[in-house]
Structure 1
Amino acid sequence: MVHAIGIDVGGTLTKVAFFDDNQKLTFLYFLSDDLQRVSDWIALFDDDVKIGLTGGRAEQLKTFLRCHDNLHYLVEFDATVAGVNYQLQKDGKNFPDAVITNIGTGTSIHYHRGDEHKRISGTGIGGGTLLGMSALMTGIHQFDEIVQLSARGSRSEVDMLVSDIYFGNKTPIDGGLTASNFGAAGLTPLMERSKEDILATVQGLVGEVISTLSIQCAFAEDVEHIVYIGSTLSGNIPLQNIIGNYTKRKNRTPIFLRDNGYSGAIGALLSIRKEN
């Protein structure tokens, strides 16, 4: 019997975490533009099930759950950090502090040490950017399709590298770094580029902006590890590779969690179990 449910209501996805009858941590998600489905799913459980809510649209979900008496709200950043701590411990990863980069619809970056955390930066570049730019430039709206096609694409003739600018001359910085995302696309008509190449380049722009900002924060806080989380990374190996490789290139250690989209939901769930 399920006694508690953690729900993270994000701008795009609503993530759910709970322990099943065998005490196995279980996950599922819904689209946040159909919160009635979330409400209908919750109605399948006993009335005394406790629900931990977090996320930017948690108040909106509450309007669908007016008859439910066991709602408990947790601040989103607190829930996320609690979930990350739990996941790191489960994965056997122990270090004193870290930068946590949460890639949702947009991206929020935190400094985390022990049970304390503070938001230190963020950007509007995130999963919403990936979906929006992909749709505008290729007409493709589905996240899974974007990921699959981008994995087959190449950025080599769409992005401009530092080495491209210096034309074989010695470069003052790493020549393999991107000098301009989409910078080479203006040299020839964009219509000549395949959808695969365009999507790969969108992934590159999103990944490099997020990792660059995260790395800057890690240097500022004198931190080695950067924990990248968020639904945008789920099953998105191309984006993980872009972020991971760039982070390593800048001498910082990237960490990707197995269930990287569910940290907030896990934290909300743990808050209910702790109260019990």
Structure 2
Amino acid sequence: MVKEIGIDAGGTLTKLAYIDEHEQLILKHYPSYKMAEVVAFVEQFKDIAVIGITGGRAEQFKELMSKPYNINYVVEFEATLLGVRHLLKKENHHFDQAIITNIGSGTSIHYMRGNTSFRAGGTGVGGGTLIGLGALLTGMYNYDDISESASRGNRKSIDLLVEDIFQGLEIPAPLSPEQTASNFGKIGIKKPQQHSNDNMLASVARLVGEVITTLSIQLSEQHEADVIIYIGTTLTDHDVLKDVIEEYTILKKKTPVFLNDHGFSGAVGALKSLDQ
């Protein structure tokens, strides 16, 4: 018997969270262009008393409903933070303060301390950038295909690295040979050549990951927070992006945390808002 459900109706994906008859947290997602299927799934539960909902397509969901429900709207940032706090507790993480970097189509960054939080910054670089640049460079539009291709790539023929700058000379600390000196920097200093889709997409992932992580680290230093929690569906099944973020965060002496259900923070928060 399902009496409450949380929905995060995003631009790309719509996520759902609810507690089933076995008291287990169930998480599901649909492409947002299939909103009618989301509505059909929700309306199969005959005992739902209230729906917690957040996200830009909340009104679209409401317009498609054929039954009257008690709906509780939650501001997207508030839902995300409620969800993050619940998932941190569920996964036995305990932080007095942290930066929360939410990677969706773009990236929104929050500072959390105790029960207080606020939006610290953000960037238009995110999952939309991965797909958009990937499509421009390779003609590939499917996120899973882009991710898989990037995992096979090698960025060294495209990105200018620190080792390329020093060319055998001693590299001063704290720089390392594999660090990026210029994303896509080799393209402009070599004769035109063909690059594989795999290599181009590996470079795109590196660019996106480094921009997001650099901003997150700057904000963590500004607010004296050593932990950065990375969430958002963009991280799902994109190992290259996750590895870039983890590597660069550790390099800058911060602690990266990736929640198991990171893509469902908004839906979980919408559900938890019903308990308040």
Normalising by structure 1, report the TM-score.
Answer: 0.94
Structure 1 match to 2:151: 151
Per-residue Cα deviation, 1:135-171 (whole angstroms, up to 9, x for no partner)? 1111111111111121111111111113322333345
Show the counterpart of 2:270.
268
Q: Once the 2 structures are TM-superposed, how far is the Cα of residue 47 of structure 1 from its aligned partner? A: 5.8
1:69 matched to 2:69: yes
Q: Which residue of 2 aligns with 1:248?
A: 250
Deviations 1:149-195 (A, max 9, x none): 211111111111133223333455514321211111232435x2111
CA distance in 2, matches of 1:139, 1:213: 29
**Letter matched to residue 126 of structure 2:** G
Shifted more, 37-46 versus 2-11: the winner is 37-46
Rounded Cα–Cα distance in structure 2 between residues aligned with 1:63 and 1:37: 13
Q: State the AA in 1 paired with 2:18.
A: F
Distance in 2 separating the partners of 1:25 and 1:100:
22
In 1, are the aligned partners of 2:5 and 2:48 still within 8 Å (CA)?
Answer: no
Superposed, which structure 2 residues align to 1:159-198 within 5 Å?
A: 159-171=159-171, 174-175=175-176, 176-186=178-188, 187-189=190-192, 192-198=194-200
1:24 counterpart letter in structure 2: Q
User: Identity over aligned residues, as a percent?
Assistant: 47
Give the aligned residue type for 1:189: P
Residue in 2 that maps onto 1:200? 202
Judged with a 3 Å threshold, the aligned counterparts in structure 2 of structure 1 residues 188 and 232 are, in CA distance, closer, same or farther, namely farther
Distance 1:239 1:54 in 2: 26
- Structure-1 separation of matches of 2:100 and 2:204: 23
* 2:152 partner SS: coil
Q: What amino acid maps onto 1:64 in structure 2?
A: L
Q: Where does the alignment leave 5 or more consecutive residues of structure 1 unmatched?
A: none
| CA apart distance, 1:42 | 1.7
- Report if the CA contact (8 A) 2:217-2:252 is conserved: yes
Partner residue of 1:31? 31
Amino acid at match of 2:192: P
CA distance in 1, matches of 2:191, 2:231: 36
Q: Which runs of 5+ in 2 are unaligned?
A: none
Instruction: Indicate how the Cα distance of structure 1 residues 165 and 70 shifts in structure 2: closer, same or farther if over 3 A, else same.
Output: same
Contact 1:150/1:196, CA 8 A, preserved across alignment: yes
Aligned pair count? 273
CA contact (8 A) 1:234 1:259 kept: no
1:14 aligns with 2:14: yes
| 1:182-239 deviation line (CA, Å, top 9, x unaligned) | 111232435x211111111111111110000000000100110000000001122211
Question: Aligned ranges for residues 73-92 of structure 1 at < 5 Å?
Answer: 73-92=73-92
TM-score (norm 2): 0.94
Residue type of the partner of 2:232?
Answer: G
